[in-house]
Chain A
Amino acid sequence: MLTKRQNLMETIKGGNPDRFVNQYEFMNLIMEAPLGEMAGPGQIIKNGWGITFSWPADQLGGFPVHDEEHKVLKDITDWKNQVKAPAVATSDEAWAAAVAHANAVDRNEEFVTAFVAPGVFEMTHHLMSMEDALMALYEEPEDMHDLIDYLVDYELAYAKELISRIHPDCIFHHDDWGSQRSSFVSPEMFEEFFLPAYKKIYGFYKENGVELIVHHSDSYGVNLVPFMIEMGIDIWQGVMTTNNVPELIEKYGQQMTFMGAIDSGVVDFPGWTPEIVAEYTEKACKECGKLYFIPNLTQGLNFSSFPGVYEETTKVIDRLSKEMF
């Protein structure tokens, strides 16, 4: 039997996996790294960038607050005065827990995986609101290029420290680039603003020993796939069924693997049942096949919003592995 790591590599290289890669099993996520403050349920926090996040206790996630009082970037043309990156944590103390965790991982079995979020696009709208960020791409493109460069420099400074501390095998990087039906920006705009940014970021990780880039965007993104490949993404996690995943695998599988195809929205809700999970998981596995595909909820971490859904999905995938391999 292949290790989880070997089985993943066989799957994404078009070899001979002996079972489905089961959701996030190949990633040993080092969540202890000092990535910055994030709001938990019931909390309101201000992070190192000055962005206020609110996560009301009864909600499934947190949101940046963008009223006039809380918006960090009120005028894109003045971003140099209004946006100040926090310092990257460089003390042994700050990294101790992450290093201890990484050292405890059997790298033959799993990938030591660093979690990085939010991404560059998300940072632009966290700082100034989605509407302002998208309009600024049109109205003040030079300032947006400069701001994006600044965000990339920060990511690279963090990446450098991250690599020197835990030597990750895999980066799991979030940046949502679309809704369920469309990318937020046109392919041309994406190519101009975000492709160069990510070529630098993912290129840096790859040049420094990272074997696998997994990018999360639980959205539509067919029109961005060529750019995803060009920037060095190995696995697109969160791929929704609106993308026609079997077609994507057919067309691009040899260049990038697709992880998802079980839309969280349709299985992960208060009234979920094992039958619903089985129906959608079977559909995903049977339609997408054994290579260049990892069955997974589209949610961007290894759990579900409602207790039991993630574990039930894992169980169904295990059963399907026995039946289909």
Chain B
Amino acid sequence: MSKIQEVKAKVEIGKTKLIPGLVQEALDEGNAPGEILQAMVESMSVVGEKFSSGEIFVPEMLIAAKAMSKGVDVLRPLMAGDTSASLGTCIIGTVAGDLHDIGKNLVSMMIESAGFTMVDLGVDVPAERFVEAVKENENVTLVACSGLLTTTMPALKEAVQTIKASGLDVKVIVGGAPVTPEYAAEIGADGFAPDAGSAAVKAKELVA
């Protein structure tokens, strides 16, 4: 197995302690940083699919994302200024009145693993704050809004509609326990995902 294949396999099973060494060995073999990064992105895509299908659970996904992030730490100094692999910046947050962050954090991790730079606004984010964050950050291509409560669905709607009304050229993806594809479409979101694995797939689709 080539080193790059080994990196891919070990990210998938979350070998956090082995990854930095393996990434270094893959570089030493002459693989380009971008290729190694792409291999890890592909691993995380497999992880996302397995999570969506119920084959793996949250700890397995977290540990794989952590392994990838350890690998990215090794590659980062070598890729400074290279944006070719980036899918842009994604602003993420849980909408106003809602303090749930676990699902949002998982989605953030998976979208980051797909190749986005993440800006996490946290929880209880007012609609206007999403718009400000799009303006404040460079190359924002996507905004991800999360809402876990039936009672905060109006806030989700307001967030999406405020972002859309701003005229900014970004796609909006939504998710959270009470959100359905129908509701997402009704409030004007560009995309919906039922879980963190699907969110990464949808995010890539939306900015392609």
Chain A residues engaging chain B, CB cutoff 8 angstroms:
56, 58-60, 63, 130-131, 134-135, 137-139, 179-186, 189, 265-266, 268-270
A131–B177 CB distance below 8 A:
no
Q: Which 3 A-B pairs have CB atoms at the shortest separation, nearest pair first?
A: A134-B59, A269-B150, A186-B57
List 7 additional contacts besides A134-B62, A182-B54, A185-B59; criterion CB under 8 Å: A131-B62, A135-B66, A138-B60, A139-B63, A180-B177, A265-B177, A270-B151
- Total contacts A-B at CB 8 Å: 56
Of B57, B63, B195, the most chain A CB neighbours within 10 A belong to B57
B14–A138 CB distance below 8 A:
yes
Chain B residues engaging chain A, CB cutoff 8 angstroms:
14, 16, 54, 56-60, 62-63, 66, 97, 99, 102-103, 105, 149-151, 177-178, 194-195
A183–B57 CB distance below 8 A:
yes
* A185 contact from B14, B57, B103, B151, Cβ within 8 A: B57
* B60 contact from A139, A186, A265, Cβ within 8 A: A186
Q: Which residues of B contact A135 (CB under 8 A)?
A: 59, 62-63, 66
B97–A59 CB distance below 8 A:
yes
Q: Which residues of A contact B63 (CB under 8 A)?
A: 135, 138-139
* B56 contact from A59, A130, A179, A186, Cβ within 8 A: A186
Q: How far is the CA of A65 from the CA of B201 in the complex (A)?
A: 31
B178–A265 CB distance below 8 A:
yes
Q: Which residues of A contact B150 (CB under 8 A)?
A: 265-266, 268-269
A184–B178 CB distance below 8 A:
no
Q: Which residues of B contact A189 (CB under 8 A)?
A: 57, 59
Of B54, B59, B66, B194, the most chain A CB neighbours within 10 A belong to B59
Q: Which residues of A contact B177 (CB under 8 A)?
A: 179-180, 265
Q: 11 pairs across A/B with beta carbons < 8 Å?
A: A56-B99, A135-B63, A137-B59, A179-B103, A182-B54, A182-B58, A185-B59, A186-B56, A186-B59, A189-B57, A265-B149
Q: Which residues of B contact A134 (CB under 8 A)?
A: 58-59, 62
A63–B99 CB distance below 8 A:
yes
A131–B105 CB distance below 8 A:
yes
* A182 contact from B57, B62, B99, B151, Cβ within 8 A: B57
Tell me the smallest distance from the CB of A141 to a CB of chain B, in Å: 11
In the complex formed, the residue of A with least CB distance to B59 is A134
A184–B97 CB distance below 8 A:
no
In the complex formed, the residue of A with least CB distance to B102 is A130
Tell me the smallest distance from the CB of A62 to a CB of chain B, in Å: 9
Q: How far is the CA of A137 from the CA of B177 in the complex (A)?
A: 25
Q: Which residues of B contact A186 (CB under 8 A)?
A: 56-57, 59-60
A60–B151 CB distance below 8 A:
yes
Tell me the smallest distance from the CB of A222 to a CB of chain B, in Å: 10
Q: How far is the CA of A58 from the CA of B177 in the complex (A)?
A: 20
